[in-house]
């Protein structure tokens, strides 16, 4: 086989290049290996941190959910099962007492009606509304304010000389409808309570 | 500024029909009168404070009293309130409404302190 001597330098250069590449590869392999290992460690660390984060978030969600369920349970046990009768009684008493306003009343009679509805409100606060503090301050405030608004509204009507409650439609609008609206609102607030 | 608050100064007045309100109701009204009368400052500056209820008042509801006295009762409590605040009235029996208001304030205070 004839070997062209002129090619020898080129061959030698090529082998040198190949050698260099091989040597470089030998040097770069450990570096690549290290980079690979570091990357694996970082990925593992991230996975652990992420798993811990998910665990914490889920735990908090579970605790919050448990707390809400506990409050709903309290509302049912403390209030809905035992005290709703007081709420219905309050509205019955208000209904009956305000019927007197359909007749023309003296100052003293108006005072009697007004004092009576305020007294009913005080009794309701003591028997029904106060226990709501044990469950939720917001619930307590909402129900108390609704009752106050009703009672204040009736007081204002009683003593407003521009409102004639002996006129049936006016009585219906200023008294009856307000009573029904408040009753619906409070019952709705209680039964839609989500903790 | 003296240590007297006359509720007559804080009545709602309809200037057109010349009607003066004979009731004090509602939290909003209570807040307005509390701020205008500067009752919280009076409590701070004076040992005794006098509240005058006009003769022709028909009703002062607990919601009004509750807001009017809210800061004062929260700060000094029921006993000191009755020692330092003299309420002058003629005829209108407001005691049960005032007691109701104070009980509510103290209950609010206790609820918030939990």
pLDDT in the model for residue B113: 47
- Given CA atoms A111, B78, A121, A139 in this order, what sign does their dihedral have? positive
Chain A residue with Cα closest to B113: A137
Mutate to test the interface with A, among B18, B19, B25 (most CBs of A within 10 A): B25
pLDDT grade, residue B91 (50/70/90)? confident
The total of other beta-carbon atoms located within 10 Å of residue A127's CB is 15
Q: How confident is the model at residue B114 (pLDDT cuts 50, 70, 90)?
A: very low
pLDDT one-digit tens code per residue, A141-154: 999 999 999 999 99
Query: What are the backbone angles phi and psi of residue B49, rounded to the nearest 5°?
Result: -130, 140
Locate the chain A residue with the closest alpha carbon to B103: A126
Is the Cβ pair A152, B111 closer than 8 Å? no
Burial class of A162 by CB neighbour count within 10 A (0 to 12, 13 to 18, 19+): exposed
What's the CA angle centered on A23, arms A20 and A27, to 5 degrees? Answer: 135
Instruction: State mean pLDDT over B22-36.
Output: 95
What's residue A79's pLDDT? 78
pTM over 0.90: no
Asked if residue B79 has pLDDT above 90, the reply is yes
Residues of B in contact with A111 (CB under 8 A): 58-59
User: Between A and B, how many CB-CB pairs are < 8 A?
Assistant: 52
CB contact under 8 A, B62 and A118: yes
DSSP designation for A167? S
Instruction: Identify all chain B residues contacting A121, using CB atoms and an 8 Å cutoff.
Output: 62
Q: B16 falls in which pLDDT band (50, 70, 90)?
A: confident
Q: Which residues of A touch B68 (CB under 8 A)?
A: none
pLDDT at A4: 58
Neighbours of B81 (CB within 10 A): 20
Q: Which residue of A has its CA nearest to B25?
A: A152
pLDDT tens track, chain A, 195 positions: 455 556 555 556 666 666 666 555 555 788 899 999 999 999 999 999 999 999 999 998 888 888 888 888 878 887 778 889 999 999 999 999 999 999 999 999 999 999 999 999 999 999 999 989 888 899 999 999 999 999 999 999 999 988 999 999 999 999 999 999 999 999 999 988 887
**Cα A116 to Cα A118: distance, rounded to the nearest angstrom:** 5
Place of tokens 């040198």: A16
Q: DSSP readout, chain B?
A: --SEEEGGGG--EETTTTEE--EE--HHHHHHHHHHHTHHHHHHH-S-EEEE--TT--EE-HHHHHHHTHHHHHHHHHHHHHHHEEEE-SS---HHHHHHHHHHHHHHHHHHH-
Which alpha helices (DSSP H) does A75-128 contain, by range? 84-98, 107-124
Compute the nearest-CA separation of A124 from chain B (Å).
12
CA distance B2 to chain A (A): 31
């Amino acid at each position: 086989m004839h070997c062209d001597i002129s090619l020898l330098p080129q061959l030698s250069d090529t082998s040198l290049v190949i050698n260099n590449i091989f040597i470089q590869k030998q040097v770069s392999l450990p570096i690549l290996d290290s980079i690979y290992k570091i990357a694996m460690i970082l990925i593992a660390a991230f996975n652990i941190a992420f798993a811990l984060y998910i665990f914490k978030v889920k735990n908090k969600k579970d605790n919050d959910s448990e707390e809400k369920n506990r409050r709903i349970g309290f509302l049912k046990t403390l209030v809905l099962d035992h005290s709703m009768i007081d709420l219905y009684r309050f509205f019955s008493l208000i209904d009956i007492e305000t019927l007197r306003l359909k007749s023309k009343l003296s100052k003293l009679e108006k005072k009697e009606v007004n004092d009576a509805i305020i007294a009913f409100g005080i009794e309701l606060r003591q028997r029904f509304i106060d226990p709501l503090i044990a469950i939720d301050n917001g619930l307590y405030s909402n129900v108390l304010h609704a009752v106050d608004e009703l009672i204040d509204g009736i007081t204002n009507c009683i003593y407003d000389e521009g409102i004639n409650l002996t006129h049936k439609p006016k009585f219906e609008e200023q008294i009856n409808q307000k009573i029904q609206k408040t009753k619906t609102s409070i019952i709705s607030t209680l039964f839609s309570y989500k903790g | 500024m003296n240590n007297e608050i006359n509720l007559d100064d804080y009545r709602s007045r309809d200037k057109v029909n010349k009607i003066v309100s004979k009731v004090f109701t509602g939290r909003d009204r209570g807040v307005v009168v509390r701020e205008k009368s500067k009752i919280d400052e009076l409590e701070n500056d004076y040992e005794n404070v006098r509240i005058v209820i006009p003769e022709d008042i028909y009703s002062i509801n607990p919601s009004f009293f509750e807001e009017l006295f809210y800061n004062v009762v929260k700060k000094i409590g029921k006993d000191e309130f009755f020692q330092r605040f003299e309420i002058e009235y003629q005829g209108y029996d407001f005691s049960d409404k005032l007691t109701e208001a104070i009980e509510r304030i103290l209950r609010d205070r206790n609820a918030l302190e939990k």
